Structure 1
Amino acid sequence: MGPALSRPDWAKALVVVVIWGLNFVVMKWGLATLSPLLLCALRFIAASLPLLLFVPRPRNLPWSLLAAYGLAQGVGQFGLLFTGMRLGMPAGMASVVLQTQAFITLLLAAALLGERPQRWQWWGLAVATLGLLAIGSAHGDSARDMTLAGFLMTVGAAALWATSNLLTRHAARHGPYEPVPFIVWSSLFPVVPLLLLSAWLEGDMAAQLAAFGWRELAVVGYLAGLSTLVGYGLWTRLLQRYPASTVAPLSLLVPVVGLLSALLLLGERPSALQWLGTAGVLLGMVVNQFGGRWRRRA
């Protein structure tokens, strides 16, 4: 069991949890007036271009790694997530389903890196999978229901998040690096593909940019400044100071904040089956995080 977080670091961790939990409501607000791929492109433009002259590139990381991470996270994870939320994935449910990236990372690490999951991790995966199936089976067709297309795209976003997690592990093999320069420079690579995809698939880019106002500016600022730079920077700092077993369980609070904020700010009310599935996903995550600790105590 690792050392406990100090009070200042507890405060930093809770700030990140709140920022990331509210993130899904902010996405919904942005998607009300902007198309998914354009909003995604604007997020990464704001997170990279204004800072390139002031933030040095991480010299020990190759361009190929920065590009791979940027494309997996930007075009893959957030492109699919924003599109899924536009197609009917509720903000609260998105915050839950996206956390399945932890289990997909587990499976990819076992298949590609030869890591061997422990028995309790398999149990956690099984419980979370049942919860995910319950959430997926509760989709509907009305504007307030979760659609199957939105659900599947969010699962795809979780898979691409897991891919970017493996790329982060690979980056660590090149030596220590500063998190903010890494995210700033990797955020440069999804910009052009996202703009091209938006122009091709969405088509009304000029009209959307002409109507761009303070609301849209606040949304992009939140997603780029708070969620991407502040959130990622603080979280990585905590992981550098404390064992992952101490910091990682705090991410369980993100979907809790996501569900509550979506309920209070958007009026989203999950069905009984979705609540049951959410409980299954969160229980599986708890087993995955704390199973080893429980076994040692036993």
Structure 2
Amino acid sequence: MSRQNNVLMVGLNRPKKRNAMPKSMMFELREIFSNIPDDVGAAVLYSTSEHFCSGLDLTQVKDQSVINCCKSASRFASETRAPSCNRSGVQEGATLRGGSDLIAPANRISCTGAIMEKKHLALALLVTFVWGINFPITKLGLDSMDPFVLTGIRFVLAAIPLVFFVRRPSVNFGYVAAYGLIFGIGMWGAINYGIAAGVAPGIASLIIQLSAFFTMFWGALLFRERMRPAQWIGAAVVLIGLAGIFLAQQGAHQVFGIALIVLSAVAWSIGNVIIKKSGVKEIFSFMVWASLFPPIPMLVGAWLVEGGQPFVTTWHNAGSVAVFSLVFQVYLATHFSYWGWNSLMKLYPVSTVAPLSLMIPVFGIVTSIALIGERVQPVEMVSIVVIIVGLAIGILRRGSAGGVARTVPLSASKI
């Protein structure tokens, strides 16, 4: 523990245990926050290692029931409140499991950037690579398959046979159906049709990232979430880049395709709102069961628009490349990637994971050039850079407590 003028600095220093709290630490913290001097204007709780806190040290409470452990954690969190001063929780790293109880009493919480473990960073890069390369691989499948038929078959395989083995998510089933229709038809149906209409896969992988801004707008409109000035600036920059992409397109079909990709970004943002409203925890189960709903509308729609020709063409033309494209989309781009991404979102703050999504269009454009020979015009290249800059401005968030000095706390060093 240390003082910086009228600021009390309290640090956690059990790096080998990821700052898991034994009883001695809990008692000591309770004593500190119950006896803060009158001349202290603010108390800052921080970590001296890469992780903030992983909650209770379960090795010391193994003789207690789960219920008693939860009660002890909640009681400790409430007793660490310091009514006589500002309660500021400065999170210097990931908060794991019950560690969030430790900063819950704070009336101001700041995340200054969690440091990912190497294996988790590798997983994040692998997921973004899979999502990026999925766009040119989808294009390879569309070379021999109708976009509606491809989308329908993709979600049939995404749902069956897993739906017979994965328990239904414990949320209102209306959310599952709505998400399935929005995600399958509004997002991937539109993306596939847009690519089939002539939109370059690399460009599509970039435009779909606009969903981040649409999600922010929905949050402000529906959940009264406040948008930061940087997000408004980023959105304006992105719109300039998007206008350049539209101007660079040749022919009405490509312009229509770009409009569909933008529509798919809107659909993805609506899907994010549905997930938030549903409060679902079992994301993998949610994805599997939601995949039941897109196939019938997509396949029936293909039949009503073009009759049986798309099915006949798909049957005759689909070879090993098309099969590979489908397998990749179902098992890697859907099941594996959504599992990996949401696992990271549970371990780290959103501000740590979300910026890595900027790698998706980078991988998408590079792999599109390498795999299918995509050509990027000079106007498109400038627009791509402008959009990526705009996304970075809107998504990246600089920590507000980066200047906190890290002094080794005396009280924590005794533990």
Within 5 A, what are the aligned runs for 1:247-266?
Answer: 247-266=353-372
Deviation at 1:223, TM superposition (A): 0.6
Q: Could you say which residue in structure 1 is the equivalent of 2:321?
A: 215
Matched, 1:113 2:113: no
**Residue 152 (structure 2) pairs with residue 41 (structure 1):** yes
Deviation at 1:112, TM superposition (A): 2.3
**What's the counterpart of residue 95 of structure 1?**
205
**Misfit runs of 4+, over 4 Å:** 294-298
Distance 1:187 1:79 in 2: 13
Tell me which residue corresponds to 2:249. 139
> Deviation per CA, 1:133-164, whole angstroms, max 9, x where unpaired?
1111110139xxx8101111111111101110
Q: Structure 1, residues 186-236: CA drift from partner, whole Å, max 9, x if none? A: 111111111111111233243135324322221111111100000111000
Question: Residues of 2 paired with 1:283 and 1:228: CA distance?
Answer: 27
How is 1:28-177 mapped onto 2 (pairs within 5 angstroms)?
Answer: 28-58=139-169, 60-141=170-251, 147-172=254-279, 177=281
Kept in 2, the 8 Å contact 1:35–1:202? The answer is no
Contact 1:69 1:164 in 2 (8 A): yes
1:123–1:287 Cα contact (<8 Å) kept: yes
Partner residue in 2 for 1:206:
311
What is the deviation of 1:239?
0.2
For the residue of structure 1 that corresponds to 2:161, the secondary structure is: helix
1:25 aligns to 2:136 (yes or no): yes
Deviation at 1:288, TM superposition (A): 1.0
TM-score for the superposition, normalised by structure 1? 0.93
Once residues 154 and 306 of structure 2 are traced to their aligned partners in structure 1, the CA distance between those partners, rounded to angstroms, is: 17
For 2:271, the aligned partner's letter is S
Match among 291, 294, 299 for residue 190 of structure 1:
294
8 A contact 2:149–2:311 mirrored in 1: no
1:70 and 1:34 map into 2 onto residues whose CA distance is 22
Contact 2:124 2:356 in 1 (8 A): yes
Matched residue of 1:265: which SS?
Answer: helix
Which letter maps to 1:128? Answer: V
Is 2:395 aligned against 1:285? no
Question: Structure 1 residues 233, 29: closer, same or farther in 2, change over 3 A?
Answer: same
C-alpha distance in structure 2 between counterparts of 1:112 and 1:35, whole Å: 37
Distance in 2, Cα, partners of 1:36 & 1:110: 34
1:269 counterpart letter in structure 2 = R
* Matched letter for residue 74 of structure 1: G
Give aligned pairs, total. 290
User: What per-residue deviation string (whole Å, max 9, x for no partner) do you get for residues 221-273 of structure 1?
Assistant: 11111000001110000001110000000000000000101111111121111
Bigger Cα Rg: 2
Stretch deviating more after TM superposition (270-279 or 230-239): 270-279
Percent identical among aligned pairs is 33
What does 1:231-270 align with in structure 2 at a 5 Å threshold?
A: 231-270=337-376
Structure 1 residue 295: Cα displacement = 6.6
- How far apart, in 1, do the equivalents of 2:366 and 2:206 lie? 12
Structure 1 vs Structure 2 CA RMSD: 1.7
The match for 2:48 is none
How far apart are 1:2 and its partner, in Å?
Answer: 3.2
Which structure carries more relative contact order (alpha carbon 8 Å, separation 6+)?
1
Contact kept? 1:2, 1:242, Cα under 8 Å: no
